[in-house]
A and B are shown apart, each in its own frame.
Chain A
Amino acid sequence: MTDYHFDTPAGPNPIDQQKIIGHPHDRIDGPRKVSGQAPYAQDYRDGISNIAYGFIVGAGIATGRIDRIDTREAEAAPGVLLVMTHLNAPKQGPHQHDLAPQLTGPEIHFYDEAVALVIADTFEQARDAAKLVRISYTPKKGRFDLAQERLNAVKPDEDEPDTSTGDFAQGFAAAPVQLDVTYTTPDQSHMMMEPHATIAKWEGDRLTLWTSNQMVHWAIRDVAGTLMIPEENVRVLSAFVGGGFGAKLWIQSDAVLAALGARAAGRPVKLALARPQIMNNATHRPATIQRIRIGTDPQGRILAIGHEVWSGNQPGRKIENAAQQTRLLYAGKDRMTSHRLAVMDLPVGNSMRAPGEAVGLLALEAAMDELAEKLNMDPVELRIINDVQFDPEKGPSRPFSTRKLVECLRHGAREFGWSKRNPKPGQVRDGNWLVGMGVGSAIRNNLSKNSGARVTLRPHGSVLIETQMTDIGTGSYTILAQTAAEMLGLPMDRVEVRLGDSRFPESAGSGGSWGANSSTAGVFAACEQLRQQIAQKAGFGGAELTFRGGQVHAQGRSVSLASLAGKNGIAADGTIVFGDLEKRYAQASFGAHFCEVGVDRYTGETRIRRLLSVAAAGRILNPKTARNQCLGGMTMGVGAALMEECVVDTRFGYFVNHDLAEYHVPVHADIPDLEVIFLEELDDKSSPMKAKGVGELGICGVGAAVANAIYNATGVRVRDYPLTMDKLLERLA
């Protein structure tokens, strides 16, 4: 494996040709997906015989302990092979990163935590027998209400929960114009369409998991650590992932219990979380309370900005870092952010699409709208005059690598017809509809992660890419092929891509919007390596090479790749290794969302009429797949604004609406034809690909644009997301 160190800005390279990169190629995995031939975790058959089925029994209380667990009836049920509980589960390793070992003791930590596993010959038998496990509990009083637990919140043991620049208290107190508002956002659920699911199979002491996971090397680490077996004894396959949005960054109970069940049963086991189990048994995005204070001069220039966030989680778990974007988005001399964490007994909170920013911007960008009104200013102009081209906490010594927020706002305002907006709320009618427009800025931190790939020139001159990278709908298959095709001068149909197998080189994986830029840079690194090996074989020494039409040209000579590949082909491994450019430069993707809503004046029903997002996210590797990512983010943002909420039963401590009938996500009828515009941008500090993350940018700020449009339509400001009709109705004139 050859490392390609990226620690100085990228110069010109073959990607800049943009013959294939940057074009809207159809997904190369598309034909398999649309014909049902792409295998997801539960679809595998080959080499898996005599499969048994698992079903999880979840705790019926949120906190307390199991007094007795009687499995006799379940064990006697037809087809049942075994029932595993804490009484007979094997010893497991300590808590691995995000994963708690399963069935470790009688204590219950959250509702629907696994308390038993039933394995049977068929799915129907396992499901039925699961209902026969009889359990008596002693419940304990739990902590379920964030509004109350906020009082017990403490400074968390994490990197930088707080930041402070200048003197916020003084700056805010002295500011001529002051805004002090508190917003709340609810717990939210990823609700990816494919449940957490795993097939586990043992051969001796070697384990294979076909599972649905975004981060293959983390899965290996956590499975091996939990089962206390060497990492090399575990193989993870995750070639197609039916959506993740963060829910599948870390393995969940399905993977561990399928592995334990398969070992105990001596048969392969298939185990999926049932849809109603997912929201409580697995992870969610935690609720927040956010206080925002902004002080400005009379012209709207920010003098002081403060953002405080409270969230809750299980002991030892993370905050929802919803103030992070406030550290970077707008200017202002006196600044503070803080995060406080309350220990709670609700299910485990963790990353969901754009953790931090997605809900932080719901508050900040609505607060900016309130501020604009206070100042009697246009909300677009307010954002523009507070633009800053460097990290406002660190000062001009840490400039943004690129930052086109102002361009996004101006371009979007023009395209959307923002000038037609009536700044006075509640003025525009269309029949029974109250019509309004809103804007929100988007920022998403650009993250990068080292990523490797193997690129093989095969005997007939075609190329194979192998990497642990996953494709969770993001288009990885296609953009990795585009990268290799560009680097090696081949048409797309000469490139094959294989993903999601732990036997391939370790990659960045899919998460935090780092996937596309990092994993294509990994393929770039491997292709650089392959190009050198090819040049050597062709006897080109250190000459300038051109790869075109299946040939390599140099020194007035051309040699076909097929002839160089020989009988065995040429394989090259490469890994992109990121240096400290992301410390020296602030790196983020930017955008602006413009929304027009109609609110029914009699029912309070909100309909999205138009929604435009303008984004600047470095090189857009494939405008078709990137646009689709934005559509997805925008739609999830609409969901956050209008409907998405895990409803907490604060008596019993669980999410009540734990399925797709009750946890509402946007459906076809909710979403009109959305518009996405990408501004041209290359970011030479991000990677040799000069690209940045786009998968989460779409959700950042869009919900606030919706909320601001609702305010503009109705004159009703709701600071408690989601903005459901009941909250509007009581205040509509």
Chain B
Amino acid sequence: MSNPSGTKPFTITRRDLVVSGAVTVAVGSGSAHAQTSEPKAKVSRASQPTMPVELIANGTPHRLTLDPRVTLLDAMREHLNLTGSKKGCDHGQCGACTMIVNGRRINSCLTLAVMHDGDKVTTIEGLGSPEDLHPMQAAFVKHDGFQCGFCTPGQICSSVAMLGEIRDGIPSHVTRDLMAVNYSDEEVRERMSGNICRCAAYPNIIAAIREVHEGNT
């Protein structure tokens, strides 16, 4: 890395820094663009390319025309008003945005909506409502599997799909016998580790999942 602690002026944009990991020393791109009064909003030019996409959200088909950069998470939250799924990081690091797409759990912030034409997407709203909770939602309430509740929609979507993965015999990093995948707290902790809970209701989440598993067997 070049050392910017000298006094030579240099110009960087955030993108340079992110992409190259180095400080780009460049000639300033023109004179300062000084304004002195509060900026006036101008009419924006919506010349962005868009793409059509059909998403089956919690059983209901929706035709949308979207900027291709819109993530599945933002399509649900900002375009379909399904705000139950949360954006904790937008970088696939926390699991708060977990949805179930065609039966598999995914981080919806890490995938673009237009990649899901025709896909069946289940969000937390699709699992149950306050009046009619899904067994996993009810178990989370009973075992106090949350505090602030922000990671919770992701934890619950993840748990529901995760139990399916164990039932289907899909092994994990901690599975000892790959031919005999069985439910255990250790398996669940491993498989749920992509869903961070900073409030750390972890033991209660495990208890909730265990109860649903036992109810199913």
Which A residues fall within an 8 A CB radius of B?
Answer: 26-27, 29-40, 42-43, 45, 57-58, 60-61, 67-73, 75, 78-84, 87-90, 119-125, 128, 130-142, 190-195, 240-245, 263-267, 272, 274-276, 472-475, 624-625, 627-629, 631-632, 634-636, 651-652, 659-661, 665-669, 671-674
Contact = CB atoms under 8 A, between A and B. Distances in A.
21 contacts: A26-B142, A33-B146, A33-B149, A34-B152, A35-B128, A58-B14, A60-B17, A60-B23, A119-B41, A134-B13, A138-B7, A193-B150, A242-B86, A275-B93, A472-B147, A473-B147, A625-B147, A628-B201, A631-B200, A636-B200, A669-B190
Contacts of A265: 41
A88 B38 contact: yes
B96 A68 contact: no
Given A71-B33, A267-B41, A665 B198 contact: yes
Interface in B23-42: 23, 28-42
A64 B1 CA distance: 19
Contacts of A134: 11, 13, 28-29
B67 interface: yes
Nearest to B156: A34
B7 A631 contact: no
A388 to B, nearest CB: 32
A659 B12 contact: no
Nearest to B81: A45
A141 to B, nearest CB: 6
B206 A673 contact: yes
Given A30-B141, A243-B198, A35 B130 contact: yes
B150 to A, nearest CB: 3
Contacts of A629: 147
B13 A632 contact: no
Contacts of A474: 147
B62 to A, nearest CB: 16
B148 A473 contact: yes
A666 B91 CA distance: 18
B133 interface: yes
B169 to A, nearest CB: 21
Interface string B76-103: 0110011111111111011010000000
A109 B198 CA distance: 29
B163 interface: no
Which of A83, A266, A667 has most chain B Cβ within 10 Å?
Answer: A667
B202 interface: yes
B13 A135 contact: yes
A36 B32 contact: no
A483 B65 CA distance: 50
Given A34-B146, A136-B9, A193-B151, 11 more contacts: A30-B140, A37-B125, A38-B149, A61-B4, A70-B30, A79-B44, A87-B32, A87-B34, A193-B197, A194-B88, A668-B195
Interface in B48-91: 48, 67, 69-70, 74, 77-78, 81-91
B193 to A, nearest CB: 4
Contact of A78 (B35, B42, B46, B146): B46
Given A192-B148, A275-B88, A628-B147, A83 B39 contact: yes
A429 B198 CA distance: 32
B69 A124 contact: yes
Contact of B67 (A75, A122, A635, A673): A122
Nearest to A627: B144
Interface string B126-141: 0111110100011011
Nearest to B78: A123
B33 A243 contact: no
Contacts of A672: 203
A464 B188 CA distance: 40
A26 B28 contact: no
B198 A631 contact: no
A631 B10 CA distance: 48
Contacts of B141: 26-27, 30-31, 34
B160 to A, nearest CB: 12
Interface string B172-213: 000000000000010011101111111111111110000000
A34 B14 CA distance: 37
Contact of B206 (A75, A119, A266, A668): A668
B153 A36 contact: yes
B11 A193 contact: no
A59 to B, nearest CB: 10
A193 B88 contact: yes
Smallest CB-CB A-B distances: 4 pairs: A36-B84, A242-B150, A473-B147, A473-B148
Nearest to A28: B141
A133 B96 CA distance: 30
Contacts of B85: 36
Contacts of B4: 61, 137, 139, 652
A242 B125 CA distance: 18
Contacts of A264: 38-41
B15 A131 contact: yes
A35 B89 contact: no
Given A72-B33, A139-B5, A245 B202 contact: no
A273 to B, nearest CB: 11
